[in-house]
Amino acid sequence: MKKAIIYGVTGQDGSYLSDLLLSKQYTVYGVTRRSSSDNTSRITHLLNINNFNLIQGDITDTSSIYRLLNEVQPDEVYNLAAQSHVGTSFGQPQLTWCVTAQGCLNILEVIRSMGNRPRFYQASSSEMFGDQFSIRNNTSLNNLQSNQDPYQDEQTAFNPQSPYAIAKLAAHHATTLYRNSYDLFACSGILFNHESERRGERFVTRKISRYVANLYWATQRGRSIPKLKLGNLSAKRDWGHAEDYVEAMWRMLQQDTPSDYVIATGNTYSVEDYLKEAFKCIDTNEYMDYVEIDQSLIRPSEVPYLRGISKKAEKRLNWKASIGFKDLVSRMVQHDIQSSSKHEENYTTT
Ligand code: NAP
Ligand code: GDD
């Protein structure tokens, strides 16, 4: 029976990865930070499972990492912990650095010091590409047809556009350095955006799906609700489902040799495309009637376009995204409609 430690277990990916590893008979040690209010809503279904252990810790505290890894002697360590909101990173750059960059280095240092070294997964991000892309056929960004070139893959240059992306890139380079210098089995998954019914409520997809669900119930009750405040609607993202993506993380650590992989669907859609599709789920075409552009939500610097090509993962990990854009949007909206029906409308408009 394998043992895995998951940093970031209470987050979206941590909860799905726990589900996956438990289904594979792992013993899972999920690390959670102490909080004055409960932060375990995504893992309540796991709390009474014998093979699932919740441990208090924090990746900014190396002594607690040292103790835990040496006590548990895990086979695998997944670092999913981060201050993961790009917008927030502009307001809290130092905190983002301490958690998202330094936290990864803290874990690497502890693993380096161990006799039996666990395999290590680092949650890298497509945000690291920033404004960079690769191109075939000389297509320009202004002259694009949907889902054609450009793209990002493992060869594309990095040029981070936020404190979050800078911190992720530092952690990414540290992971490569420790793999090459100290022979650690360390992999970075360069994951493009992945969402789900468990997505944090301040990421744009969930903010929209929750609003649409609230609008649905308000309309049923003959009420109106305030407009949804959004920032940049033209940014394009490659959106997949988190359940597919945690499978890729696990597969990376089962290979004979460690490497880095781009994980993405290969398709790109704008925030406005997501908005349109979500409102379609409640048979509403006039979606802009419900939206207000709030300048304070526009970031000082933006990543305009992401579309990942996962050929390497397809070939070596036999991995491919199984849930497409329309399914993803529909699952999120339907889930939010069902869960908000139990409550009065509860708005997230900012
Ligand atoms: P998430 O829902 O925001 O979860 C982040 C997790 O990190 C939470 O469990 C959080 O705990 C924990 N955390 C924050 N600070 C910590 C600290 N100091 N010590 C220990 N734990 C801490 O993020 P996600 O969407 O699951 O993403 C997982 C990872 O993949 C993140 O590193 C993210 O940056 C990266 N990533 C995500 C995507 C995506 O589209 N989802 C794409 C590429 C990369 P609390 O619950 O207590 O806040
Ligand atoms: N959050 C948010 N809120 N984003 C908005 C809003 C809004 O009200 N309005 C427009 N957007 C735009 C953002 O400017 C961005 O271009 C896009 O919607 C997506 O924003 P997020 O959902 O916050 O995700 P992200 O792409 O910035 O970052 C996510 O994906 C990264 C991988 O590419 C996060 O999960 C990161 O942790 C992850 O690394």
**What amino acid occupies position 120?**
F
**What amino acid occupies position 340?**
S
Indicate whether 86 pLDDT > 90. yes
User: pLDDT by residue (tens digit) across 243-289?
Assistant: 999 999 999 999 999 999 999 999 999 999 999 999 999 999 999 99
Residue 164 annotated to the active site: yes
Alpha carbon of 79 to ligand 1 centroid (Å): 9
* Residue pointed to by tokens 């019914």: 197
Our mutation pick for probing the ligand 1 site, out of 7, 9, 13, 268, counting the most ligand atoms within 8 A of Cβ, is 13
- Looking at every residue in the chain, the average pLDDT score rounds to 95
Q: What residues does 124 pair with on adjacent strands?
A: 190
User: pLDDT by residue (tens digit) across 103-125?
Assistant: 999 999 999 999 999 999 999 99
**What amino acid occupies position 284?**
T
26, 121, 164, 274: which one is catalytic? 164
Chain-centroid distance of CA 97 in Å reads 17
**What amino acid occupies position 177?**
L
Contact 83, 95 (CB under 8 A): yes
Alpha carbon of 121 to ligand 1 centroid (Å): 13
Please tell me the predicted confidence (pLDDT) of residue 224: 95
Indicate whether 345 pLDDT > 60. no
26, 76, 89, 127: which one is catalytic? 127
Evaluated on CA atoms 185, 186, 190, 191, the torsion sign reads positive
Please tell me the predicted confidence (pLDDT) of residue 148: 59
* Residue pointed to by tokens 């409640």: 282
Residue 86 Cβ < 6 Å to ligand 2: yes
Range from 137-141, 158-162, 307-311, 319-323 carrying the lowest mean pLDDT: 137-141
18, 84, 125, 310: which one is catalytic? 125
Q: Are strands 291-293 and 228-230 parallel, antiparallel or unpaired?
A: parallel
Alpha carbon of 302 to ligand 2 centroid (Å): 9
Contact 330, 172 (CB under 8 A): no
Backbone angles phi, psi at 228, to 5 degrees: -85, 125
**What amino acid occupies position 159?**
N
Please tell me the predicted confidence (pLDDT) of residue 58: 97
Task: Supply the pTM of this predicted model.
Answer: 0.96
Contact 262, 310 (CB under 8 A): yes
Chain-centroid distance of CA 147 in Å reads 22
